[in-house]
Structure 1
Amino acid sequence: MDATFTGAWAGFGKSGFAGATFIGPALFDGATFGLARFDGATFASEAGFSGATFTGDACFGGAKFTGYAAFGEAKFNFNASFNQATFTRDAWFAGATFSSGGAWFNSSASFDGTMFNSSASFDGTTFTGDARFDGTTFTGDADFGRATFARDAWFGRASFAVPSHLEPLVCSGTVTLSGAVFEAPVTLEVAAQEVHCVRTRWESTATMRLRYATVDLSDAVLSAPMAVTAHSTAFATNLGGTLDEKMLILIAPDVRLTSLQGVDAAHMVLADIDLTTCLFSRAFHLDRLRLEGRCAFTRTPTGLHWRKIWPYWWSRRRTLAEEHHWRAHRAGAGNPDPPRGWQARSGLPGSVRPPKPEYLAATYRQLRKAFEDSKNEPGAADFYYGEMEMRRHDLAGTTVIERVLVRAYWLLSGYGLRASRALLWLGLAMSGTVLALMLWGLPTTVPLPSATGTATGSTISLKTDKPDLSITGDRWTLQRADRAVRVSVNAVVFRTSGQNLTRAGSYVEMVSKIIEPILLALAVLAVRERVKR
């Protein structure tokens, strides 16, 4: 049976085709529908709705399209439901418009549970309400190039069996890919406020080029290499122009990653991504994560702080967001506005504690290895500092003696990374050496040795005594200061000054020959860690 309603004159106020079977071509090209009910309808041949206008709800729930389905340039002014529909051959929605028919009416396009057994084209389609593709199966090519979503786009639990074209598309709300499965290589070019990929499965290579987006990759499964990159310019379309992003112009185009928790990062590359709020705990193989371009991490608090009456400031370095959360929780018991400038995790329940120092130390260690493999030595140095900080605060996995040694290492040179701290201690040590030598180490005068002996026959026996050096007179003279400085400077390089010293001065010189070269070596090491490539 053929059904042909072609032309703008074909109008349907309330069309009831629910459960109908169209054996031959069903052509509604250019027709106008009020309430259109095609629930459970079967289209055994071609179904043509190109240029059709649906001024009421368009209901195609459970419909079966065994032939070619054409909805190109169709206009859906209210809700369009294709839930559980089946498209056996190509489904063409290119240029279709899903829009709201009234200011108060929350219109949406729903394809939940729909199965597209051949290609499905939504190229250039505009959705002014929510677009839902939850549980949709695309066994053929899915083309969403130049698609525009004025609200949210839902692809949760959707399945993409062949290489699909999900680029470029723009969404003013959230693109949800949580639970979706990509069985073939895919490239995503998305400009959106948020992109959720929680528990998404990538069975093949994938590339995500993003703009404006805040991305959540918690518990995503990566079976092949995947790259997440921030795209610096507007996406180009297949028509030679650029994607219209005017609905997002009030948002910074930077891409922010909020979570890699539970992800095996062995195959992941991040390029030019903002990681200031990213959570890395529970992630695997972070040592094999590749960080390219400019990947920003959060920093320590700036400015002068006070601990009771003592001033202090934090060394400037890259940190993980989890360290901020841990220090804020430790300092302010979860206070959302913690003291000392560390940022608490927003929305963190009071009963949920941030990761413990031993876990943060392991995370820092793995990311340090990732920086070292990418030849970013200054970045690796910051993460080594973070690792040692967590070891210093780890009361469970670090012994008391080890914590004492680590604390001394931190105090003297900032774990071999703060040259200014090591040089300050070196200056203090040399000043102390000079002061001790002037007080107790340098004699005022050096008495000549005396010799006594006896003559027996033709043999003379002599005994020379060297008297102990003593200090008399003024200890604070420029001459004594000059001699003390020479002894101290020579001690830095293990050299003997050649000065006559008292017994106390000899011990002072021996101690300075141990301490001062170590401090000098720590300062040189710190400079080396900051400038080597």
Structure 2
Amino acid sequence: MRTPPPAAPSWPYCAHSAAPSTDTVGCRGIHVPGYTSCLAHLTDADRTAYLTGLAPGADIDHRGTPFTQRLLNDFLNALRDSATGKPSFGTAWFDEAQFSGDARFDEAQFSGDAGFLGAQFSGPASFREAQFSGVARFDDAQFSGETLFGKAQFSGPARFGRAQFSDLAQFGWAQFSRNAWFNNVQFSGQARFQGAKFSGVAWFNEVRFSNHASFQSAQFSRGQQFSSAHFSGRARFDGAQFSGTARFEGTQFSGDARFDGAQFSGTARFDGAQFSRTATFTAVRFAGAPVLGPLACKEGVDLSGAQFGLPVTLEIAAREVVCERIRWESTATMRLRYAAVDLSHAVLAAPVAVTAHATPFSDNLGAEVNEDLLTGPARVKVNSVQGVDAAHLVLTDTDLNDCLFSGAFHLDQIRLEGRTFFAPTPTGWHRRGIRLTRWTRRRTLAEEHHWRAQTAGQPTPPPGRTPSPRHWRPGPHHPNPGPTPDPEDVAALYRQLRKAFEDGKNEPGAADFYYGECEMRRHDTTGTPKGERRLLWAYWLLSGYGLRASRSFSWLLAAMSLTVLLLMSVGLPTHDPDPATTGTLHRSRISLHTSTPEPALRGGWHQRMTWARTEKATRIAINSVVFRSSGQNLTTAGTYIEMASRLLEPTLLALGALAVRGRIKR
């Protein structure tokens, strides 16, 4: 398809080199006043005369004019103020001008409006320390080489809409006193705005940064908008100050995004923002952000050391959310998806809720936030609450399989709501010498896993490999026993979490933590006396610390069976003894005496092991369970057997009933 020829400009143009068959327009440069050619195509004498007549501060109009480096230097020298040595312009129009070679407007002063709309800079362009007092228009300009606006001052509005920067664009420490428009700009090289000051609104909507972009220590006094912008490289906003509303709705960060030490005095809007790598907000201060997000991050969001001064809601879908030493001065709600959260040493001055959000987030317009960067289940894990005052912490529907609780304060006041998951014990059968054992199914803390893995001498799994469910999971310091919590420490954690469940009227939920507490006390060789450990061992063996009804009832059945067997063997007499009465006659008085002989056990085993004796022994054993005497004649051995059964068997029955009650109590 044939490209149509460019339209003729609206001003009187030079038309040099125009050809009817190929280029009907030719040179687009505007006529120099008093001539019929542009500045580039004047004769040497006419050009010299024109330049000689220019004075600093003059209004000039050289739209569409092609400037070589030499011509531009001669032109700037003609406008150079002898007192300051700087080029000085009044109103300057360079729309669609073409600059080949170096275009250096360093320290130039534009006291009126400056227009560079559609200008083309084939080589480096430099406006360092230039001063624009009026409107500075660079819309649709094309900068092919390095572009330098370092320390430039824009007293009026600055417009760079749809401009293209093919190489480095340097705006470091530039000052924009009014609004600055960079909408739809294409930065193919690095874009540097470090230290820039935007006193008006800064517009960067739909800007494309194909390389690294730096806004370090930049100041945005009245707000800025990066809505739908795209950062292909690294984006740096370290130390930036956002005094007004900071808008990053729909912004895409393909590289790392860093906001370390930034200050958001107003609202920070990241609705629908997409981070393909990490987003770092360390030591950031959010003074007026009621909502942060919803945003999606493929890797991790780092909020370490951040400060939130007002109530805030954070909506984040990310693989990892790091909140180490974060400080919440007011209430906060963290709604998360996919995330593993680290709350180590966070400071909570008011209630803070961490909640797993079941459905995808929606932005302020009701549109669903794109989560294509993330795959797998949206379960939220909490990895650590170490050093946290948990009195203000609420965890809802979270996975605590790997959560470290050691070092937390007021852990007994933490609130665990919804479906909370803890690490299970290893599965399957395990050999201990010649014995086969199987761990009781219960919820455990990560600290117990770490201690048992360390004491068992388990090898450290290779990096990136999921631990086997048949083994205890090693801790981060495995196999070093120093930083690994010992049983006394783990018992204290279980005790506090048990109280938290009990205070929440969740007695069944507290049962596993009581079991874990007793387990750790039983293995604690330093803080628990030996006698107490032996008592705990018996308590565990007979009833699983009063929490395993099947164990208690199994022992009860075994004890009753043994009682029946012993009574049949040595406790029940073969025949019931018959009382014998004897009397004496003394004068007219008769004295009678009745005696019952001791029950006797006669005969062999075939006489003792009968169904009738089995029924009688069973009745005696059952009576013993309910604290009743059987009323049967027993041998001396049988009497002691009954006494022992009346002591032991009701205890086992009570332990079984206690275990059942512990699982169903509300």
TM-score by length of 2: 0.76
Taking a change above 3 Å as real, the CA distance of residues 321 and 392 of structure 1, as seen in their structure-2 partners, is: same
Q: Does 1:484 align with 2:617?
A: yes
Q: Which runs of 5+ in 2 are unaligned?
A: 1-132, 462-466
Between the two proteins, the alignment pairs up a number of residues equal to 525
Higher relative contact order (CA 8 A, sep 6+): 1
Q: 2:383 aligns with which of 230, 239, 258?
A: 258
SS of 1:439's equivalent? helix
Distance (Å, rounded) in 1 between the aligned partners of 2:236 and 2:457:
47
Distance (Å, rounded) in 2 between the aligned partners of 1:481 and 1:148:
78
State the match for 1:371 in structure 2: 501
Deviation digits for residues 258-287 of structure 1 (CA, Å, limit 9, x no counterpart): 111111111111111111111111111121
Taking a change above 3 Å as real, the CA distance of residues 50 and 132 of structure 1, as seen in their structure-2 partners, is: same
State the match for 1:314 in structure 2: 439
Superposed displacement of residue 4, structure 1: 1.9
Superposed displacement of residue 340, structure 1: 6.5
Q: Does 1:230 align with 2:360?
A: no
Deviation digits for residues 6-34 of structure 1 (CA, Å, limit 9, x no counterpart): 43245463221112222222222222223
State the match for 1:384 in structure 2: 514
Residues 271 and 295 in structure 2, CA contact (< 8 A), matched pair in contact too:
yes
State the match for 1:412 in structure 2: 542
Deviation digits for residues 299-341 of structure 1 (CA, Å, limit 9, x no counterpart): 1112121111111111111111111111111111665479962
State the match for 2:134 in structure 1: 2
State the match for 2:208 in structure 1: 75
Distance (Å, rounded) in 2 between the aligned partners of 1:374 and 1:195:
28
**Which has the higher mean CA deviation after the structures are superposed, 22-31 or 358-367?**
22-31
**Computing the radius of gyration over CA atoms, which structure comes out larger, 1 or 2?**
2
Q: Which letter does structure 2 place at the counterpart of 1:47? A: A
Q: Does 1:178 align with 2:311?
A: no
Superposed displacement of residue 421, structure 1: 0.6
SS of 1:350's equivalent? coil
Deviation digits for residues 75-132 of structure 1 (CA, Å, limit 9, x no counterpart): 2111111111112221222222111xxxxxxx21101011112221111111111111
State the match for 1:25 in structure 2: 157
Distance (Å, rounded) in 2 between the aligned partners of 1:505 and 1:72:
95
Residues 457 and 479 in structure 2, CA contact (< 8 A), matched pair in contact too:
no
Q: 1:115 aligns with which of 234, 241, 263?
A: 241
Residues 123 and 147 in structure 1, CA contact (< 8 A), matched pair in contact too:
yes
Matching of residues 295-444 of structure 1 within 5 Å: 295-332=420-457, 335-336=460-461, 341-346=471-476, 348=478, 350=480, 352-444=482-574
Superposed displacement of residue 385, structure 1: 0.6
Distance (Å, rounded) in 2 between the aligned partners of 1:486 and 1:347:
59
Q: Which letter does structure 2 place at the counterpart of 1:369? A: K
Q: Does 1:286 align with 2:402?
A: no
Residues 143 and 164 in structure 2, CA contact (< 8 A), matched pair in contact too:
yes
Q: Does 1:51 align with 2:184?
A: yes
SS of 1:378's equivalent? helix
SS of 1:162's equivalent? coil
Superposed displacement of residue 345, structure 1: 2.1
Distance (Å, rounded) in 2 between the aligned partners of 1:527 and 1:493:
18
Distance (Å, rounded) in 1 between the aligned partners of 2:277 and 2:383:
21
SS of 1:256's equivalent? strand
SS of 1:229's equivalent? strand
Over the matched positions of the two proteins, sequence identity in percent amounts to: 56
Distance (Å, rounded) in 2 between the aligned partners of 1:489 and 1:116:
80
Matching of residues 424-503 of structure 1 within 5 Å: 424-473=554-603, 474-503=607-636
Q: Does 1:199 align with 2:325?
A: yes
State the match for 1:269 in structure 2: 394
Distance (Å, rounded) in 2 between the aligned partners of 1:270 and 1:495:
51
Q: Which letter does structure 2 place at the counterpart of 1:246? A: D
**Which has the higher mean CA deviation after the structures are superposed, 125-134 or 446-455?**
446-455
Taking a change above 3 Å as real, the CA distance of residues 348 and 61 of structure 1, as seen in their structure-2 partners, is: farther
Q: Which letter does structure 2 place at the counterpart of 1:26? A: A
Distance (Å, rounded) in 2 between the aligned partners of 1:447 and 1:144:
95
Q: Which letter does structure 1 place at the counterpart of 2:485? A: P
Distance (Å, rounded) in 1 between the aligned partners of 2:293 and 2:200:
27
State the match for 2:346 in structure 1: 220
Superposed displacement of residue 208, structure 1: 0.8
SS of 1:228's equivalent? strand
Superposed displacement of residue 400, structure 1: 1.5
Q: Which letter does structure 1 place at the counterpart of 2:650? A: P
**Which has the higher mean CA deviation after the structures are superposed, 293-302 or 368-377?**
368-377
